[in-house]
Chains A and B, each alone.
Chain A
Amino acid sequence: MRMFKRQAHVQEETDGETIDNLLFAAKRQVKMIMEEAATKKCINEDSSIVTMLCGSIEACLQYKLKKQSLGLFSHTSSTTALIHKIAKYLDVAKDTSKVVSEMESHTDHLRFSLKNLTLDGGKSSPTHQPNGTFKCLWIRVALFQKVLAKIVSYLVVHSSKYYESTSLMCDKTKGSVLAQLLEGPCALEYSRMKTLDHLFTDPNADELVLRHRLHSHTSLTSQSSVASSHKRPALAPGRSKGSGSTSSDESTRSVPIHAREYVDSLHQNHKAQLLYGKNNVKVLPRDADDLLPGYLSLHQTAASISLKWTPNQLINSNRLHTHIEEGSSNCTSPTTESSYPSGRLYNNTCRRSSSLSSSNVSTTTPVTSPISSPDTIVMCKDNSWGGGSHNRNHPLMWDCAINVNIDEIVYLHCHHQGSCGGTLILVGIDGVQSPAFHFPFGGHLLAFLNCLESGLQPHARLDPPLWIHKDTGKIFPKLKKKRLSLSTPKAASESGEFYTPSSSVEDELDIDYVFRIVGVYKPKAMHELIDPRRLSLLSFESIRSLRLPWSSSVPTDSPTHSSHASHTSNTGSYDPPTQSHIEQAKKPPLQTRDSLQRLCTTMKLQIVSRAFYGWLAHCRHLKTVREHLSGLVYNGEATLPTPPHNNKYLSTKFWKSLSDSDMVSRQCEIYSSIYYGGVSPQIRKQVWPYLLDHYKFGMSKEDKKKLDATSANLYEKTKFDWQSVESVLQQREALLKANIKAYGNLRPPHDLLPPTLDLPIPDNFRKRLIDRQVSNLSNEVFLDSVIVAEINANNVSGTVKPPPPLTKWHTVDSNYHEDFCAVKVSSRNPLRSSSADAVDGKLDPNYNEKILEEVKLNLHRIDKDVHRCDRNYWYFTENNLKKLRNVMCTYVWKNLDVGYIQGMCDLVAPLLVIFDDESLTYSCFCNLMKKMVENFPGGTAMDNHLANMRSLVMVLDPELYDLLHLNGDYTHFFFCYRWLLLDFKREMCYEDVFLVWESIWAAKHVCSDNYVAFIGLAMMEAYRDILIDNAMEMVEIIKFFNEMAEKHNAREVLSIARDLVFRLQTLIENK
């Protein structure tokens, strides 16, 4: 009992959460639409924002709806039933309900007429299908009628009638909040007009990603997106994923990438015209015992006609996924219906029961994000045409689907057997037969041929042509009796008058036909009716006559041949051929045999030479790859893309269990587990110093403590140095200001600072100053020259007593200040005395000024960037930003020759978040910068990185490379600049930055020193289909990735990156 109570309690809690989530989602959508409205006069009805809003409202209304209260309407979308129900009580709802009903019946009507047009009047009656597109229809209508808020508030008032007590609608406060929320959107103007904005605004990155998800039916998070990237074979010897069985059929199939895409292709679309469609056409698949019903369709593209047959189960299963996808997408995601051809046609092809069951699934599926059904999606994808070795639902179903290009078909054999509607067998130019298509009874075969014939025109025709009967339209040609045709084969073939109209009523059902598809370009058509069993012999004939219709080099000898190829039209379709026929077939005349032999030799030669050149090209390419890319990965054993045993990540438990000596011996293990899965967040603080070479593996606790103390000490000293300079600067600033105040102009006193002031000087900076004096290099920084000039001018002008300083450190007396600095600094900085001596002796008197200016400039820049660095992240409070500034300034002080460059702050920030300790952060940052500094302007690493990216894309994804290379220069890779400069810090959200960084550092010890390049490529790969489908240019790519910043799925990207490393390694080893 207690258990039960607790469970109920938990249930209530989650209800509360769900309600909050639903309400939050609705709020967000309302906010979005209001923001949109603020910038535009009216909102397009088809806008994705509207769809999203409707989706979230639908979700709110559907939550804990009492299904039984809706009664008869339960087969439709439940909230639609709701609106019909309350239409009785609420006037405004009545209008909405009426419009919705009208629209639904209209679409039904449309659907019905479509069916009549395309499907040759099938038996199944039109069924009312609530599909995803219409799910939110009434909400849309109500919104456009501006009554949605009223309806919802009515529902809130009467919620007890329609909703369970724990629902959102029954919650008095939240329910009315929802109703009031909708007042805003209901007051807006909506328009069907395509506004200019609508036409010209490119979709943003989110929209693109979503569209892609919906279209390709594959989730971006699935690992298989890499596998799918092999549309065009790259040089990957071990492409095990894509390899399928090599059946004879495969040559005639074009392999579709996504199942969903394939099913979409069965519709009439802008690319292909649907000539014919018929369901329940049965085919006996290979390795199967029973005939399988399926959907036969004929599609005409500009180039050719293709015939497709898809098992019904497959279409149904796809329909199922589509439903889930639709249901979820409509509730959570912006999808414009226009971009999403819903599968209405399926209703005709699926049997009613199955479509009903699929709609059930769609309504009962919990509303989640579009990624929620990756399993099913991936399944479909894996099975698409490939081996389909590990599929679950439809074993080998995809293998059964048939896709034939009619261009490759020579003969159509039609058999009529008894009560069956007719059987069709296609024979290709290579002589291979398709499985038999069993048409249902009722003239469907004739209709099919009719459609095919009209589709073939004007480039080809059926031979013999179908006859036209004045009453019934096209009919099968009437044949002469077999006896007749056999007795006069020669005459028949010469005259071409093979069939004579016969008035006798023959039983059509018992006649077999062989039609030949004849190209009209052919000068001489051969009129033959042949026995299917002679095909092996005739295939060569057809190669000669069809493949090489223009070539005169291979002499065709059709009269001779046709005399041997028998012209039969068997009435009993499977009579064994007579002995004489077989003998004749076995002994072709000498001429034919010669030409055949020649043909074979030529073919053999061509095959061998092709194979050789292919191999040669492959070897050359491999050589290039080895030369240019072998440096990117370590040699030796390839690192697998997935973790070997169970070291999925560096766990706290494992880390704690390691003793100091263990760490040395198990170093590799540590690195590889970090490479595969990162570090457990709790121990990052301990692990990172090792990764960043601050600690060495094997250090004892005392050693580490000592090291920390030393580095802390050093840090404090350095910090003090620059802080004293800063205070000098501050004082000067204050003086300047005071003077301006006092004198109202820009003339400051000249003796603000004595030129011989002692200041600490960073060694490397001194060197740079000397260099600078030699080369007189001053074009780099504009500000420098200006400020220096100004200061010099200042120094010349008259004397004024300095006003009181601002800081407590310094007194009015500049002498005192000078002493103070000198004493303090020299006592603390052992380096200082020597450098100060050097300064006094060898450098020009402006030297101190130069340092001061340099520091001032850098401090100014640092302040500006620190102030705006990651302000949205919780860690960076005022106090912690100060820490960040200290670390940054200390580094810049020590490396004044490099100076502060934008982006450095971004590199310090994550370190500081993890360590929360200035000196440790500083020390690790210095180590990190040893490598990273080369990326910044002035270094050479960035060019190398970009070049590496370029070659990687070229080798691993040629198709993407073609796109990026369209304009032909490497600047196209500039969108990677920020990625590479900051190690993806700006691309990922904070938690993911940690993960990405530690994998980069660990990868250095596992597989590659240039792991960054692989992650970069992985980022592109993750969206490659979007980039390619939209043919994005550099500008668009930059925009896309800038918009996608911090929205990437880091784990997915990393797993793609590991896969890429693996692919390159195997490629280089060529195993």
Chain B
Amino acid sequence: MERFARLLTDLIYTRSRNSKLALLADYLRTAPDPDRGWALAGLTGQLNFPSVKAGIVRDLIKERVDPVLFALSRDFVGDTAETVSLLWPAPPGPVPPSPTVSEAVALLSAATRATAKPVVAGLLDRLDEDGRFALLKLATGALRIGVSARLAKTAFAQAFSVQLDDVEEIWHALRPPYTDLFSWASGAAAKPDITSRPVFRPFMLANPLEDAVLDLADYAAEWKWDGIRIQIVHASGETRLFSRGGEDITASFPDIARVFAHEGVLDGELLVRGAAQGGEAGGAASFNALQQRLGRKVVTANLQAEYPAFVRLYDVLFDRGEDLRRLPWSDRRVRLENLVSQLNPGAFDISALIEAGDFDELADLRAAARETDIEGLMLKRRDSPYEAGRKAGLWYKWKREPLTADCVMMYAQRGSGKRSSFYSDYTFGCWTAPEAEGGVLLPVGKAYSGFSDEELRWLDGFVRKHTVNRFGPVREVEKSLVLEVAFDAVNASTRHKSGIAMRFPRISRIRRDKPASEADEIRTLRGMIASDPGSAASSIEARPGD
């Protein structure tokens, strides 16, 4: 564990991407098996110990350190694993030998709900500060040390002089500790063959269009549907649905999986039947309706009937064992149009192309998108191959303009990770009525993005200088600062006192020029609620956008 712990510490203090790659590659090349495979799994977020929850770690430390002192420390550090690694008291007596990564993984995997606490405590007792930090990061999931899964895989490719695309391609068919991956990369075995297996292939993603003007002779336009981007795969008699991150979500959508038996890999948007987006003809229900289908242990027949799911297809990656990804988009589109006619029409349709004479006409269509509650447009280069990731110049998303409101900062909390110590999470409110008529501020949302580093420093200073009250980690501030908040939509919500919930709120401007009394009223926000019958039932949580 010492070597892995040192790797994590070095990575944290290393800024340059090349130096990080060099550190990772050196470790992956020289660390012993299967330690390096488990480490790679940790770095790519593939380790999961169901019995070891973050709560266990908090319980353990609270048995050893006063809970208030722990909470204050945690708030200051901004990271539970690091706080615990710093506070953990060394056990009396001689230090037992530290565990290897493999031994730690074996112990954590074997832990049950009942034994998880003593197992974790026993491991922490055998490690120093850096070792405890590494162990807790491994044990509780996300490392968050500035190394993405992509960077770790890039380092792997670099370490063994293999192609990153080859690594990505077979990655999702392999399991930790990736013995076959290391054998192939080091030349000891052939490349694992995955063609006949129902595995996830990396998605092609879009960049924001910004201010570019495109020639529609080169780009095709589609609506941007607001559901869940999925990949549906059928191979060797098995069907799988994967989400953006490659997570298997087949169990949540048996109605779709059941009716798909075409050997191949398709890309599309999972939606629920309805008319909220795009109207009666060819529309779909809101994302809210789809949310009713997510995160359920049991997907009842009732639920399936009430929220009938379907897939609006965007692309085809494989068709009957043939890899189409190198073909231009226009050729794949023809293949997809032919293919969709063979699929169950209740569960599959195709994302229609938008006819527009020129870019200006397309801009007008986008401007009108809010009226039909469509999120925006997608633009795809007609000759683009299907490339994993977000390649420049190929696919663009062109979202409708956000809505904005002037709100007043009410509370602030410290951020985590890079922003630990900075008050970077802001709760803001709007008036129930004009202040002069006795109106009060009610919270309408929370945002922690949209500002520059310089603005963050200013906001942090504002919070520190204008604190009027402290509730644990939360500071209440003087209600004097107006923030212009941008958001994609407003939904009715019974969860919030204000009765509304913003979708993707972010700070768009700091309005130092505007007095708080001139901030917006809640009724202005209510007026923006999308006409969506499905949205009254629950509020929306932010989720990663495309």
Q: Is the pairing of A and B real?
A: no
| Chain A residues proximal to chain B, CB less than 8 Å | none
| Chain B residues proximal to chain A, CB less than 8 Å | none
